[in-house]
Amino acid sequence: MDYQTIRCERDGDIAIIVLDRPDVMNALGVQMRAELLHAVREAASSARVLVLTGAGRAFCSGQDLGDHATIAATDLERILRDEYEPMLRAIFDCEIPTIAAVNGAAAGAGANLALACDVVIAAESAVFLQAFARIGLIPDAGGTYWLPRQVGFAKAMGAALFGEPVSARQASEWGMIWEAVSDEDFDRHWHQRARQLAAGPTLTYAGIKKALRETWENDIDSQLALEAQLQGACGRTRDFKEGVLAFIEKRPARYEGR
C-alpha cells in the first residue's frame, strides 16, 4: 500500500509507524485512520515489536477538525464505530508488544491512541491532553476505558472535565504511562526498549498481554485457570526450553519468537 499520511520503517524485527502530517501536528484524518489500520495489521503479521511515533514536534493532536469527512456532527458515531474502533482494536488486540514513543503533544484521540499501546514511553517535553470537553465532546477513542483503569477514577474524571495538560513526568507518576525520558535520550531509549522486546520471547509476551487484559473481567478462580492454561502453552514452546538452558549455561537466551 502506498501510504500518504504515515511512514513505515523497519529496524530488524521492529516495525515503526511514524504519523507523518507534521504541518497539522499529525492530526487523525480519514486517510490516516485507514492507513494506520492497514499498517498495524501488516506489522502484526511480520514483526516482533510495533512502535508508533510522530514526525515533527507532536505525537498526534487528535481528530483532524478540518477534515471534510468530519464536518457533520451526526457522523461522529459512524466515524468512531467504523473508522476508529477497527484501528484501535488492531492495536489493542495485536499479539506482539506495542510501544507508543510519544515525542511531543498527544491530545484528544491522539492521547488515547498512545494509551491503546502496551507501553508508553514519552519525552519529558511531551504532554497528554483530554481536550474533548473544550469543544463539547466526551473523551473517545478508548479514553473512557483506558484512563480510569490506568490512573483511577478521580484523576480520570478530573482530566476529562478540566481538559488540562498532563506533563509526561506527571503521567508517569500517575501510572498513565510507563516512563518519561529526557528529550536528549528519548530516541535512543525507546529504540533500546524496542530492541529488548524484539529479542525476547514473543509468544510469552502474547500470553502476558492476554492474562493481564482479562484479569479485569475474571474472578480469582477464572484468572488462576487462565494462568494455568497460558503457562502450560508457554511451557511447551522452544523459547521456554531455551530460556532454561540459557539460565543454566549462564548466557543470554536466543529466542526464536514466532
Enumerate the β-bridge partners of residue 7.
18
- On whether the 202-249 domain is CATH 1.10.12.10, my answer is yes
User: Each residue of 198-227: pLDDT tens digit?
Assistant: 999 999 999 999 999 999 999 999 999 999
Answer yes or no: is pLDDT of 70 > 60: no
Q: Which helix (H) or strand (E) holds 119?
A: strand 119-123
The residue assigned the cell 499520511 is 5
Instruction: Quickly state the pLDDT bin for 69 (edges 50, 70, 90).
Output: low
User: Each residue of 4-61: pLDDT tens digit?
Assistant: 999 999 999 999 999 999 999 999 999 999 999 999 999 999 999 999 999 999 999 9
pLDDT at 65: 82
Is the separation of the CB atoms in 252 and 239 below 8 Å? no
Taking each helix axis from N to C end, the angle separating 202-214 and 238-249, rounded to the nearest 10 degrees, works out to 110
What is the pTM for the complete model shown?
0.93
CATH of domain 6-198: 3.90.226.10
Answer yes or no: is pLDDT of 75 > 90: no
User: Each residue of 105-128: pLDDT tens digit?
Assistant: 999 999 999 999 999 999 999 999
Q: Where are the domains of the chain?
A: 6-198, 202-249
